[in-house]
Amino acid sequence: MAEQRIDLPQGTLDLLILRTLALRPEHGWAISERIHQVSSKVLQVQQGSLYPALHRLERRGWIKARWGASENNRRAKFYELTATGRKQLETEKSDWKKLAAAVAQVLETA
Amino acid sequence: MFSDILIRLRALFRREAVESELDDELRFHFEQQVEKYVQAGLPRQEARRQARLEFGGADKIKEECRDARGVRFFETLAQDVRYAFRALRKSPGFTTVAVLTLALGIGANTALFSVVNGVLLNPLPYPHPDQLVTLHESKPNFNTGSISYPNFLDWQKENHTLSSMAVSRSYSFSLTKLGEAEQIQGQFVTPDFFPILGVKLVTGRNFVGSDDQIGAAPVALISAGLWKRRLSGTPDVVGKNLTLDGKEYTIIGVVPSDFDLKIDSFSASDVYAPVVQWNNSLLFDRGAGLGFHGIGRLKPETSLGQARADFIGVTKNLAAAYPEVNKGIGAALIPFKQRMLGDVKPILLVLFCAVGFVLLIACANIANLLLARASGRAREFAVRTALGAGKARLIRQLLTESVLLGILGGAFGLLLAGWGTHAALKALPEALPRAGEVGIDSRVLLFTISIALLAGILFGLVPALKISSTNVQDNLKEGGRGASGARKGAHGVLVVVEIALALVLLIGAGLTLRSLVQLWNVNPGFNPHNVMFFGLSLSPATLRTTPAAVRAGFRNADAAIAATPGVQAVSISWGAFPMSGDDEWLFWLDGQPKPTTRNEMNWAIEYVVDPDYLNIMRTPLRSGRFFTAQDDENAPKVVVVDEVLAKKYFGNENPIGKRLFLEIGGQQDMTAEIIGVVGHVKQWGLDTDDTEPLRAQLYFPFMQLPDALMALSPMGMGAVVRSRGPVPGLFDSIRHSVQQVNSEQVVAGAQTMDEIISSSIASQRFSMILLGSFALLALLLSSLGIYGVVSYLVGQQTREIGIRIALGAQRGDVMRLVLGDGAKMALVGVGVGLVAAIGLTRLMTSVLYGVSATDPLTFTAVALTLTGVALAACYIPARRAMRVDPIVALRYE
């Protein structure tokens, strides 16, 4: 546990989940692993936030769940992006980029 | 949105499955994590420990997942509903009053909405009702006059925009040779009438074109009612014969009993026959309207505008071809529904506003009750807040209570409405077109549910917001008696709103009441009391006799009726009859050349009567004389005119002795000498007669009718009698004496003149009765409201009053204090109400008669009454306050 961890700002978890699922359907554990890997082990998603987030996204109709077999052939719940989810990802992505750019600009100049 | 509902529903109803899936999902994650650590080299035991440590409390995660799925919403709701039920059961008095108040408010709204829905909103019960139109001739004096049969035939042939059209005309048939002779209501129709409306016959066939050719064998359709009543519903009724006016008709079909159309002169009747069977020598006279009105169906994809343009062309051609009768005659096409509903829309909308007000008042009342209750429960809420209940949570729970009240009230209201509408429409069936189609359907149900929920939220919101904004600490400290005075503001506003609403309603009702009184006080131009009108037909055999025999037949019938005990005088009535049927003759003045077109002739409403007519109606004789028995078929022709005709055509000259040229039924011209002038009669109804273009009236002696018309008259005549006071069973005695003369002579359809007048203002009475009852309800509710609030405030101020009295305040001071509080609210309410009423009653102008929408008398009287009632409602708690015993009040602490 030597890596430096950063807590996720409010609302970004949804974006990360959607982005991860954009590649292919995944189950919860794989999603958290993937975010961990891709962020060079900076971001660690806690189960306590991951699962409520998944269920919330499902309720909003952005992702949908179905049961399937995992890599090691166990029954696992896979989530995949829906069409509205894909649209939502695009909006959130561009919002995030604008926000990040704006924050960076303020930090640079102020 | 859809996935949201599905997931919530699944979470609610498949709770176990959802829970076990959640278990599985989390366990999978946990085991994956363990696996990962094992592969990284940890011993299994250690890997599990590590994973569990990271995982934290599984229950907390599950709880948050449930929240995320929206399960909590329903669980809380169920909890709140249970809690609300318990709370309501604990105070049965409050619950009963609240539910009853709401039931009245919601019931009145549901009832009226079911009327609006059935009459205005629902489509007509015919296929493609938007294609249906009514047809009329537009001519001088009449925008929607009757169509002559030859013009109808030409319109039918020449137009390109209607897929089919038909005309109809009502007629009274004598039904004989089937038990007792009877006069039955019939309609002459052209063949397409029923197909246009898509009426499916119970049995048999519709009329076809060949049935309406001159010389065709007489055929008839009968109503299901007549089939059951007179033909005992025999299945082989088609092909049987029916003797109408002495002619044998073959029954070809039966019209279903749910066909109850009433439009223009058409109303669903017992028998229908083709127009050509009408033995009227004027049928093929292009200038004779004869009371025919038409219906038609637009071709698909054809607009009303296109059809109107088409008919302008058709009528122009006809005017060019027959200038002497058709000049200035056009066609009027009117959407069917608009024609059927007439001017009922503004009345219904006014009434709908009125019931809306009643519901608002009911809501204000309940909000007040809830406010009072909420301050009693302040401590309960303070404790709950202290224990961690959020503000939103408290508001939600209070709203659940009020919405539950709303739903209970709505359920009772629905029952009240179902029963109330039924009763109201039964009492005044003629007040409303389409009354038979009013009922409770899915749209009404939806409306009731919506207003019940809305009302629940509306009256629940005020106390809910109030309670959640009060200070927890204060409430806990104050020992649960609430901060006195703090909530007076909200109560006061609600009372002011209630009183203002009640005032507007009372003024509305007052204005309609005054209109109705004005209408009743309008002199109709005759004395309606103890006058009865009925249909009279001689025996059908008279049709095949001479005019002299017809005259003799009527003289005998007249004598028999006159000799009936209780009858003071009798007269035949032909042509027009006040407020029930109109008919016109054309005339021109002596010294004028005969006008070349009908358009240039003068019109007058004509009453063809016997000498006693004036004594029966008690219409005043202005000058000259009325007819005598000597003005008979052998005497020179005479005519009596009314003062409107005299003034219009003779100005200040004395018309007596002048002569009129009459064109009777477009056949023969005849000159008649004016022998008298009588008062004007309100032919077109008490309210509208003054503004009608055609008001000139003339009277002509029945016995002087030309022979051609006399030959027609044995069937479907009218008679009018004046009785010596109210005589029970008079009509039965008259029937008996008439049938003594000849068993095939019939009388039917008796109506007293008072009934005719009151049904002519039925819609005004209908709105008056409804608006009046709504206003009374509003008065009752709002005085209950002010009474409740003042009582409550007195209860809250008991200690203060006790201290005042202990310090030497007089009882009168206390009384003034409390009354002053009430009076302040009442006066502000009345003030606001007056301003609102000035704005709102203007919308009623079209349903008022003879009274201005801002009638100062009504406004003052209502404002004073309401203030008085409000003060009276304050007086009871004020007396209670006066009698407060300071010792008791102070010990109360």
The string of pLDDT tens digits covering residues B785-812 is: 888 888 888 887 788 888 888 888 888 8
From the list B687, B844, B171, B116, the residue with the least C-alpha distance to B433 is B116
The answer to whether B33 contacts chain A (CB < 8 Å) is yes
Say what the ipTM of the complex is.
Answer: 0.87
Of B417-426, B651-660, B726-735, the one with minimum mean pLDDT is: B417-426
**pLDDT top residue among B472 and B361:** B361
From the list B390, B391, B407, B409, the residue with the least C-alpha distance to B464 is B391
Task: Report the half-sphere exposure of B135 (CA within 13 A, side-chain side).
Answer: 35
Q: Which of A28, A48, A53 comes nearest B25 by C-beta?
A: A28
Residues of chain A contacting B54 with CB distance shorter than 8 Å: 46-47
Of B101-115, B455-469, B764-778, B828-842, the one with minimum mean pLDDT is: B455-469
Cα(B451)–Cα(B446) distance, integer angstroms = 9
Which residues, including other chains, have CB under 8 Å from residue B712's CB and lie 6 or more apart? B279, B280, B281
Residues of chain A contacting B67 with CB distance shorter than 8 Å: 52
Cα(B540)–Cα(B176) distance, integer angstroms = 8
Neighbours of B623 (CB within 10 A): 13
Which residues, including other chains, have CB under 8 Å from residue B486's CB and lie 6 or more apart? B470
Q: Which of A46, A60, A76 comes nearest B28 by C-beta?
A: A76
Which residues, including other chains, have CB under 8 Å from residue B852's CB and lie 6 or more apart? none
pLDDT of residue A1: 40
Which residues, including other chains, have CB under 8 Å from residue B747's CB and lie 6 or more apart? B183, B534, B535, B536, B537, B719, B731, B734, B735, B738
Q: Which of B25, B33, B36 comes nearest A77 by C-beta?
A: B25
User: A60–B26: do the CB atoms touch at under 8 Å?
Assistant: no
Cα distances (angstroms) measured from residue B748 to each of A78, B352, B527, B538: 84, 39, 23, 12
Confidence of residue B484 (pLDDT cuts 50, 70, 90): very low
Q: What are the pLDDT digits (tens) for B560-594?
A: 999 999 999 999 999 899 988 888 888 999 888 88
Confidence of residue B2 (pLDDT cuts 50, 70, 90): low
Task: Report the half-sphere exposure of B693 (CA within 13 A, side-chain side).
Answer: 9
**Alpha-carbon gap: A70 to the closest alpha carbon of chain B (Å):** 10
Residues of chain A contacting B25 with CB distance shorter than 8 Å: 28, 51, 76-77
pLDDT of residue B281: 81
Q: What are the pLDDT digits (tens) for B426-482?
A: 776 667 788 878 888 889 999 999 999 998 888 888 877 777 666 666 666 654 444
DSSP state of B577: B
User: Mapping DSSP to helix (H, G, I), strand (E, B) and coil, where does residue B708 land?
Assistant: helix
Residues of A engaging B, defined by a Cβ cutoff of 8 Å:
27-30, 33, 46-48, 51-53, 55-56, 58-61, 64, 70, 72, 74-77
Asked if pLDDT for residue B487 goes beyond 60, the answer is no
**Alpha-carbon gap: A53 to the closest alpha carbon of chain B (Å):** 7
pLDDT of residue B71: 64
CB pairs under 8 A between A and B: 70
Cα(B201)–Cα(B490) distance, integer angstroms = 63
The answer to whether B23 contacts chain A (CB < 8 Å) is no
Q: What are the pLDDT digits (tens) for B92-112?
A: 888 998 899 999 999 999 998
Residue pair B288/B664 in contact by the 8 Å Cβ criterion: no
Confidence of residue B616 (pLDDT cuts 50, 70, 90): very high
What would the mean pLDDT of B701-705 be, rounded to a whole number?
Answer: 94
From the list B365, B357, B435, B390, the residue with the least C-alpha distance to B99 is B365
Residue B336 phi, psi (nearest 5): -55, -50
What would the mean pLDDT of B49-56 be, rounded to a whole number?
Answer: 81
Average pLDDT, whole number, for chain B?
Answer: 87
pLDDT of residue B480: 44
